[in-house]
Amino acid sequence: MLKITPIPILQDNYVWLLENQGQTLVIDPGEAEPVMAYLKQHNLSLDFMFITHKHWDHVTGIAAIKAAYPDCIIYGTGHHEIPCRDIALIGGEAFDLMGLSWRVWHTPGHTLDHIVFHTHTQEDNGIKQDHIFSGDNIFACGCGRMFEGTAEQFHASLHSIVSLPPSTKIYCTHEYTLANIHFALHVEPNNTYTLHRQDVSSQQREAGLPTVPTTVADELKSNPFVRCNAPDVIRAAEHFSGKVLGKPEEVFAVIRQMKDTF
């Protein structure tokens, strides 16, 4: 059975560690030490690494981990140089690894080189469970900063993810949930689901637990960046920009600007 564990690194990043059929994979090791300590403590070797994008907090640990586990194969975005990368992916690929079927999507917006990894498992009750490893694309109740892409690109990338079934688990790489909820409530003060989510996430953090993974259903109900058709989100964006906004992409662009200066 697929086991997925978040390893906290740096200030507020998570490296996702996957174990299935006796093999192990880590995603976006921005720091080597905590990952190697976990592997050692649990008597695991490392077979694969996935890299979503080029930022330092996603790639800095790669070389040291590769030195310790030289047989490990590194799959990373092919839109930019990634240290030690063995296999370059540009999105659109499908392959089997660790007994799982993987699909790679190109999701520009945060950076132009950004990719995400999708797989699925079969639960005991026979129901299909989707999993998406979203890097710095969609976050719990937020999304990454728009460093390189356009609002149109970022909006389309986010929507490809939330078009997956509502039960899909989203494994993002930052613990930004409470700050994101704070902003989401600034945009939609009357969103009762977001208020509920604030309580749940606060309790999780107080107990020292991660607030992620999140789900597509949670994001559709509370994440302003994928709710650009919601009346309160449109109203907030039009108030901030002083313009009537026609398209969801335009609303997204303004909401992203609002968050940058919040």
Rule CB under 5 A: which residues touch Zn ion? 55, 136
Distance in Å, CB of 61 to Zn ion, minimum: 14
Q: In whole angstroms, how close is the CB of 144 to Zn ion at the nearest point?
A: 6
Query: CA-to-CA distance for 249 and 122, rounded, in angstroms?
Result: 35
Alpha helix stretches (DSSP H) within the chain: 33-41, 56-59, 62-68, 151-162, 177-187, 192-206, 216-222, 231-241, 248-260
Q: Measured from the CB atom, is 55 or 155 closer to Zn ion?
A: 55
Shortest Cβ 111–Zn ion spacing (Å) = 6
Judged by CB, which is closer to Zn ion: 55, or 120?
A: 55
Q: Is 138 helix (H, G, I), strand (E, B) or coil?
A: strand
Separation CA 259–CA 247 (nearest Å): 19
Q: From the CB of 10, what's the least distance to Zn ion, in Å?
A: 12
Q: Which is nearer to Zn ion, 55 or 118 (CB)?
A: 55
- 31 near 60, Cβ under 8 Å? yes
Nearest-angstrom CA–CA distance, 185 and 232: 10
Closer residue to Zn ion in complex, CB, 136/218: 136
